[in-house]
Structures are given as structure tokens and as C-alpha cells.
Amino acid sequence: MRRVSIVTLAGLALAAVALAGIPAVAQAPGGSADAKKLKNPVPVTAGSLKTGEALFQKNCRFCHGADAKGNGPQAPKDTHPPNLTDETWDHGSTDGEIFTVIQNGAGPKLEMKGYKGRISDQDIWNVINYLRSLGPQAKR
């Protein structure tokens, strides 16, 4: 009977995590139709760019590199963080798709952990504004 209770509790815990909105899978290559619908509510201003740059340097440069070219010194072994300054965005190129990747993570083995709960939504949009200032102005 005790074994059944433990299994039941474990199942309930997993269900609670799923209902809390924690993604079971990172965004797949090619983007997301739902994410494409998200629009960046944060205007591109000097303040947004400065905040986005500071957040990128604090949280992202270790894997993506200080210049965002995918050459960070602490990327997990056998991973290849993307160059965020070019025109190729494997998980979608709209602001909404980029937001979803930053928030929920990416990679076949979730190599990039999501920042949901660690960085506010507004600050994720600030990072996107900063990234847009580094490379081609893709679909917003």
C-alpha cells in the first residue's frame, strides 16, 4: 500500500509541474506558430538596449559569447550555441519565437535552460531588442 501512495504522490507532483506551465519540451527547430503571434511590447529605446545588453552579458555571454557570435567559453560540452548576430535563427526568427526560446529553453536535450522565473518578461524583451541591434533586423 505504501508503494502505491508513493507512486500516486509522484504522479500528482508531475501533474502539478505540468499545470504550472513548466514546459515539457523546449521549442522545436523551425519555430512555433503560437510564438509567432507574440509581439514585443517593449519599445526600442536607449534604456531598453542598455538593459538588454547588461542582461545578455550577465546571463548569456558564457555560452553565446560576449559578442553573441556563439563562441562562449563555457558552453556545455559538444554543444554549439548559435550565432545571434546572423540571419539564421534555428528556432524561429520573430521576436515572439525568440522570446519563447529565452523563456522556455531550446535544444534537443534542452541544452539551453529557460529563464522563466529568473528574468522578467520585460527584461527578456529588452534582451531581444539588444540582440536585434547587433544583427540584421529580422521579422519582429
Domain CATH for 90 = 1.10.760.10
Residues 32-72: pLDDT tens digits? 889 999 999 999 999 999 999 999 999 999 999 999 999 99
Domain count, the chain: 1
Residue 71 lies in a domain: yes
Residue 9 lies in a domain: no
User: How far is the C-alpha of 56 from the C-alpha of 68, rounded, in Å?
Assistant: 9
Q: What is the mean pLDDT of residues 15-36?
A: 57
| Boundaries of domain holding 91 | 27-134
Residue 79 lies in a domain: yes
| pTM of the predicted model as reported, rounded to 2 decimal places | 0.76
Residue 14 lies in a domain: no
Residue 7 lies in a domain: no
Residue 97 lies in a domain: yes
Q: What pLDDT does 76 receive?
A: 85
Residue 3 lies in a domain: no
Count CB-CB contacts under 10 A for residue 50: 13
User: How far is the C-alpha of 50 from the C-alpha of 11, rounded, in Å?
Assistant: 44
